[in-house]
Amino acid sequence: MSLLITPDALADLIAGSAPVRILDVRWRLDRPDGRPEYLAGHIPGAVYVDLGRELAAHGEPTDGRHPLPSATQLGQAARRWGIDDGDTVVIYDDFTSFAASRAWWVLADAGLPDVRILDGALAGWVASGRPLEEGTVVPEPGAVTLGRGFLPRLSIDDAARLPDSGVLLDVRAAERYRGDSEPLDPRAGHVPGAVNAPTTGNVDADGRFLEPEALRERFEQFGVGDDRPVGVYCGSGITAAHSALALTLAGFAPQLYAGSWSQWSNHPDRPVALGSEPGGRP
């Protein structure tokens, strides 16, 4: 089953008889509420998903800024979105599929078998010449049954140990990895041993994921290989899901450290590395 879908293929799904549920997950750090933009124009039939409230829990700072939602929280949200068992779920956002990838990871981890990202995001749909609709979509409640733990993940202790036996990728921008600046979290730097592989390198100029062969070559340059476990983290577990998807497309089996830097940096007992090298300086 493909993890990506083109605008043409999505249009065919919408026109066909198979059940499909489209989720609009617009979210950015500088604009966490994407509902106004959703109301102004979205793919016909798409339901708005609130990432902060429905795809993340709210815990202590030591849990990170966007902890994974509980099974109960996610199940309630997915039924609100109208998802039933057996549905194909297509997810998009309006910013290079970062937020959409978080939704993909959470739903795939919950056991949904057919979850896909609209490659090229909303801009790709618009560029294909297809229409948008205004207003809100309120579907009949679904009856989907969800689980948890279908995808591999890392705890904070797992993330600390992984560089000894595998590759831990830090997919934040280089300046945050180095510790030059930290606008969001209490300490700057990176997990000792982590390798910097910014998420932006997963896509082309149009926001589409690189071909699997190109993604594989990219990650191999960071030391990723079939014989070594690979984990991935970012600031708060959002863009890390994007790289988890890219790694999956490349044929690897990534483990997501969902707490990410926002959790690690809130634990004063955890060491911090600075600079451009994985080990850095204390």
Catalytic status, residue 234? yes
Q: In what order do the strands lie in the sheet with 255-256?
A: 195-196, 167-170, 230-233, 255-256
Please report the sign of the dihedral spanned by the C-alpha atoms of residue 87, residue 93, residue 96, residue 97: negative
CA atoms within 13 A on the CB side of 77: 23
3-state secondary structure the chain: CCCEECHHHHHHHHHCCCCEEEEECCCECCECCCHHHHHHCECCCCEECCHHHHCCCCCCHHHCCCCCCCHHHHHHHHHHCCCCCCCEEEEECCCCCHHHHHHHHHHHHCCCCCEEEECCHHHHHHHCCCCCECCCCCCCCCCCCCCCCCCCECCHHHHHHHHHCCEEEECCCHHHHHCCCCCCCCCCCECCCCEECCHHHHECCCCCECCHHHHHHHHHCCCCCCCCCEEEECCCCCHHHHHHHHHHHCCCCCEECCCHHHHHCCCCCCCCEECCCCCCEC
CA separation for the pair 116, 151 (Å, rounded): 15
**Catalytic-role residue among 234, 240, 244, 272:** 234
Which residue matches tokens 């030059």?
180
Residues catalogued as catalytic: 234
